[in-house]
Amino acid sequence: MQATQENPSADAVRHTVNIELGDRSYPIVIGAGLLGHAQTYAGLPKAHAAMVVTNSTVAPLYADAVCAALSALYPHVGRVVLPDGEAHKDWTTLNLIFDALLSGASDRKTVLFALGGGVVGDMTGFAAACYMRGVPFVQLPTTLLSQVDSSVGGKTAINHPLGKNMIGAFYQPQRVVCDLDSLKTLPTRELSAGLAEVIKYGPIADMVFFDWIEAHLPALLAREPAALAHAVRRSCEIKAHVVGQDEREGGLRAILNFGHTFGHAIEAGMGYGAWLHGEAVGCGMVMAAHLSQRLGLVDEAFVARLTRLVQAAGLPVRGPALGADRYIELMGHDKKAEGGEIRFVVIDGPGRASMRPAPDALVREVLARCCD
Amino acid sequence: MQATQENPSADAVRHTVNIELGDRSYPIVIGAGLLGHAQTYAGLPKAHAAMVVTNSTVAPLYADAVCAALSALYPHVGRVVLPDGEAHKDWTTLNLIFDALLSGASDRKTVLFALGGGVVGDMTGFAAACYMRGVPFVQLPTTLLSQVDSSVGGKTAINHPLGKNMIGAFYQPQRVVCDLDSLKTLPTRELSAGLAEVIKYGPIADMVFFDWIEAHLPALLAREPAALAHAVRRSCEIKAHVVGQDEREGGLRAILNFGHTFGHAIEAGMGYGAWLHGEAVGCGMVMAAHLSQRLGLVDEAFVARLTRLVQAAGLPVRGPALGADRYIELMGHDKKAEGGEIRFVVIDGPGRASMRPAPDALVREVLARCCD
């Protein structure tokens, strides 16, 4: 699928970023006016049935349009509406998808469509990975966070009471469709949460992009289409480059988790859903930057600059008062822990990240410095 | 791993059958006295922790010996004991494995060991596929059925109330260890159930093996080690050959499901666990043979010969009285159904199988002929 402009109602801007993974390669299509057009879905696997998985917030906005467009390609188009929110990213909710599939007209070729944010995408992807040992699925991310991060790269999962994303699969979608129009209806708090993952790509990979975000933050917060289009495109390019080199997170891919070890502890410690994932990651990046500074990898000016940008994006920069012991306990459950040692993504000089363990005392210093 | 005889307490007979799947290749090691020897586990992935998953029947027999042997290689060796039986092959039981992993010393390199029959193997494999998006696992099948079929080939799954094995993954083990000594403690009913899958390999792939089974059935039922060793080895060879050509069941692999479409309907219709899987498959093969005959593919003598062997193995050859409508409804949920059409594995002449749909009327004739 090449960048095209055949849809007269769409903005002139349409980009395609390809994820190169051999026979699991797929395109990320970025543009406006995409969700409701049958052309958007041309060339996907043929099947007797399609199933749109969405949530109670997104369904009233886009589900009818998507189902209508899919009806041109699939004889049966079903839908299942999940409760909204990270708190529902569990087996009980996942089973609603299986129930709908097994009660309906589905078979082992049925194509699933994940219409919504990161939670819908993660759950639909995991359902597709497991249903009859694997059916095709398509990501239709409707939040900034899912467009720039979670819908891309094939990580799918549900949460376990003892840890976030502990049960899941690496399972690549057939296509990702980022309709920029869907960002118009996004609550401000979720726009900010998405910006956390956009900002992330600067320190770990591209300080020119970081400069650009600093300069264009007002435009992004004002949802100017050209600014959002560039932010989504560049984020997807960086993620595609990283995932193309390390699909299953044997090494490099872990840098995408900058801010996530602290962030996951905040999310789990506060109870899933109290903090948005992007909020926890924003705050977690500030904490990870402080840790990098204490390890002698970046200077105070860099930490201050990152902190200012995170704060200006509308995100928290101070962690909740969980207590250092609880933070460390929660981080020990994180998937990045190995052999009992907690490993952190640190900034190895602006624009470059790496993973390493950190002395307990330094981590406690950071927690004391960054938490209420 | 080559066939070796370095373990003086083992029988002289030890075979290795390799599953050739590129970087997912692995050996099936077949012999006596394997489970309790550290040498059996040499060369497996190194890790901080190993977790033995077993059930309440098998644990008292072999878990201590396996854990002791693994202690030579892994600093932490945990175990989790599941309730026994197909009725427990569900999410609730699967979650016991996740709970044990997340409460213990495990991390993303922890190696799982499935010690038990097909249910333990399917659940442990699926847990390994999903835990932290994938950790290594090893199959230690202790029943004839799991040694000749379910532990080999990477199919893992749990059941859903609306269908057997509906939620799962293709996920290959690192190694399969078939300890023939474990067959000594197998209940007679389970020995017969395992013979169903052994018999299966004849009609679908190798009538010379079928002749051998007919000739050696008394020896197999008497558990003569040499006969069991040959049955396990030849079954694994045939399965390895099929799986090596079609890992994800795009086509050929489906022939391994001979008898399973009818069989799954029996299992689901009677409630999982009422009939053993092998019992249902034995009866299902007789039904599928009748269907093959009605399709003009085999003659009555072949059907009679297969029926005699299944019956002589101690397996049922008549289906329960579920009613034809219920059978057809249940078979419609089977994974082999596509686009609403039920497809059957039929014998296309002795020693050769294929998949095809069958007219509803013929299926009803078979059900009328074969059910009480």
Residue A363 resides in a domain: yes
pLDDT at A336 (0 to 100):
60
Task: Please identify which of the residues B15, B165, B197, B230 carries the catalytic annotation.
Answer: B197
Rounded (5°) CA angle B166-B170-B173: 130
Residue B15 a catalytic site member? no
Tokens matching residue A154? 């094939």
Residue A4 resides in a domain: no
One domain, residues B147 and B246: no
Residue A249 a catalytic site member? yes
Residue A1 resides in a domain: no
Does B105 contact chain A (CB < 8 Å)? yes
Strand order in the sheet with A137-141: A14-19, A26-31, A175-179, A137-141, A111-116, A49-55, A76-82
One domain, residues A212 and A332: yes
Convert the pLDDT of each residue in B301-360 to its tens digit: 999 999 999 999 999 999 999 999 999 999 987 666 666 678 999 999 999 999 999 999
pLDDT at B286 (0 to 100):
98
Q: Is A164 labelled a binding residue?
A: yes
Give me the helices (H) in chain A, please: 64-71, 91-103, 118-130, 144-145, 188-205, 207-221, 225-245, 260-270, 277-294, 300-312, 324-332, 360-370
One domain, residues A70 and A91: yes
One domain, residues A274 and A192: yes
Q: Is A300 labelled a binding residue?
A: no
Pick B130's closest partner by Cβ from A48, A109, A167: A167
Cα radius of gyration rounded to whole Å, chain B: 20
Contact B130 A95 (CB under 8 A): no
Does B102 contact chain A (CB < 8 Å)? yes
Residue B114 resides in a domain: yes
One domain, residues B148 and B242: no
CA distance A112 to chain B (A): 15
Residue A55 a catalytic site member? no
One domain, residues A174 and A258: no
Q: Is A114 labelled a binding residue?
A: no
Provide the percentage of residues in chain B whose pLDDT is more than 90. 86
Domain count, chain A: 2
pLDDT at B256 (0 to 100):
96
Pick A132's closest partner by Cβ from B129, B134, B335: B335
For chains A and B, count residue pairs whose Cβ atoms are closer than 8 Å.
93
Q: Which of residues B162 and A156 earns the better pLDDT score?
A: A156
Three-state SS at A208: helix
**Residue of B216, B226, B84, B200 whose CA lies nearest to B148:** B200
**Residue corresponding to tokens 């989790």:** B80
Residue A173 resides in a domain: yes
Q: Is A156 labelled a binding residue?
A: no
CATH code, A359 = 1.20.1090.10
Domain encompassing residue A328: 188-370
Give me the helices (H) in chain B, please: 64-71, 91-103, 118-130, 144-145, 188-205, 207-221, 225-245, 260-270, 277-294, 300-312, 324-333, 360-370
CATH code, A124 = 3.40.50.1970
- Domain boundary among the residues B135, B160, B185 is at B185
Contact A339, B76 (CB under 8 A): no
Residue A241 a catalytic site member? no
Which positions in chain B touch A169 (Cβ < 8 Å)? 129-130, 133-134, 169
Residue B6 resides in a domain: no
Binding-site entries of B: 84-89, 118-122, 142-143, 155, 164, 197, 260, 277
One domain, residues B201 and B350: yes
Pick B170's closest partner by Cβ from A102, A133, A166: A133
A102 to chain B: nearest residue by CA? B162
Q: Which of residues B116 and A334 earns the better pLDDT score?
A: B116
Residue B16 has pLDDT above 90, yes or no: yes
Sign of CA dihedral B262, B266, B267, B269: positive
Contact A162 B102 (CB under 8 A): yes
pLDDT at B336 (0 to 100):
60
Sign of CA dihedral A208, A209, A212, A214: negative
Does A321 contact chain B (CB < 8 Å)? no
**Residue corresponding to tokens 């010690």:** B115
Task: Please identify which of the residues A247, A257, A290, A336 carries the catalytic annotation.
Answer: A257
Q: Which residues of B311-329 are buried (b: 16+ CB within 10 A; e: fewer)?
A: ebbbbbbebbebeeeebbe
What does each of the 372 residues of chain A score in pLDDT, given as a tens digit?
334 444 444 445 789 999 999 999 999 999 999 999 999 999 999 999 999 999 999 999 999 999 999 999 999 999 999 999 888 999 999 999 999 999 887 888 999 999 999 999 999 999 999 999 999 999 999 999 999 999 999 999 999 988 889 999 999 999 999 999 999 999 999 999 999 999 999 999 999 999 999 999 999 999 999 999 999 999 999 999 999 999 998 889 999 999 999 999 999 899 878 999 999 999 999 999 999 999 999 999 999 999 999 999 999 999 999 999 999 999 987 666 666 678 999 999 999 999 999 999 999 999 999 999
Which positions in chain B touch A134 (Cβ < 8 Å)? 169-170, 248
One domain, residues A246 and A322: yes
Residue A277 a catalytic site member? yes
Residue B95 a catalytic site member? no
- Domain boundary among the residues A185, A211, A234 is at A185
Does A132 contact chain B (CB < 8 Å)? yes
- Domain boundary among the residues A185, A207, A242 is at A185
One domain, residues A136 and A200: no
Tokens matching residue A19? 């994820």
Residue B290 a catalytic site member? no
B100 to chain A: nearest residue by CA? A162
Does A91 contact chain B (CB < 8 Å)? yes
Residue A60 buriedness (CB in 10 A; 0-12 / 13-18 / 19+) = exposed
CA distance A168 to chain B (A): 5
Residue B9 has pLDDT above 90, yes or no: no
Confidence of residue B163 (pLDDT cuts 50, 70, 90): confident
Least confident window among A216-230, B196-210, B268-282: B268-282
Task: Please identify which of the residues A6, A46, A133, A338 carries the catalytic annotation.
Answer: A133
Residue A2 resides in a domain: no
One domain, residues A41 and A160: yes
pLDDT at B111 (0 to 100):
98
Residue A8 resides in a domain: no
- The residues near B208 (Cβ < 8 Å, ≥ 6 apart) are none
Does B212 contact chain A (CB < 8 Å)? no
φ and ψ at B316, to 5 degrees? Answer: -70, 145
Does B264 contact chain A (CB < 8 Å)? no
Pick A160's closest partner by Cβ from B102, B156, B340: B102
Tokens matching residue B269? 């219709």
Pick A168's closest partner by Cβ from B133, B167, B248: B133
Contact B133 A338 (CB under 8 A): no
Residue A155 a catalytic site member? yes
Sign of CA dihedral B31, B35, B41, B47: positive
Residue B239 a catalytic site member? yes
Contact A339 B132 (CB under 8 A): no
Residue B8 has pLDDT above 80, yes or no: no
One domain, residues B264 and B361: yes
Residue A197 a catalytic site member? yes
One domain, residues B249 and B205: yes
pLDDT at B340 (0 to 100):
65
